[in-house]
Amino acid sequence: MVLLPVHCPYCQSDRVVKRGRSESGEQRYLCQNEACAHRSFRLDYVYKGRLPQVKQQIIEMTLNGSGIRDTARVLEISPHTVLKELKKKSPVLSRSTPRC
């Protein structure tokens, strides 16, 4: 038997417990850190657009001037996923970009 240490991909906490299975049969985990913004997560996502690294890349590519379709094509995800992530982060993006 092999024990795999599981860390939360958002806060890097090791206080993680199993929390059932998804509809596709993937194992879900629950972060027990009170300060963690995302409590539930999976280790292996079926769709790349759900990965925290890909979500960060969407923001970085937008700040560097890439369009929605270009970002979707490069990251191999749906343009709807790109739009949804940008809408969630719009207050943060509007503060970081200088207005002319």
Kindly state whether residues 53 and 89 are assigned to the same domain.
Answer: yes
Which residues constitute the domain of residue 92?
48-96
Does the structure show a pLDDT above 90 at 48?
A: no
Is pLDDT of 99 > 60? no
Q: Are 40 and 66 contained in the same domain?
A: no
pLDDT above 70 (res 55):
yes
Do residue 65 and residue 91 come from a single domain?
A: yes
Q: Are residues 27 and 54 in the same domain?
A: no
Domain count, the chain: 2
CA distance 22 to 71: 28
Q: Are residues 72 and 91 in the same domain?
A: yes
- The residues near 16 (Cβ < 8 Å, ≥ 6 apart) are 6, 7, 8, 29, 30, 31, 32
Q: Long-range pairs for 56-59 at CB < 8 Å and ≥24 separation?
A: 58/82, 58/85, 58/86, 59/85, 59/86, 59/89, 59/92, 59/93
Q: What are 12-26's pLDDT values in tens digits?
A: 888 999 999 988 888
Q: Does the pLDDT at position 36 exceed 90?
A: no
Q: What is the mean pLDDT of residues 56-71?
A: 93
**Average pLDDT score over residue span 34-59:** 86
Residues 23 and 58 in one domain: no
pLDDT for the residue numbered 93: 64
Cα distance between residue 56 and residue 75, in whole Å: 11
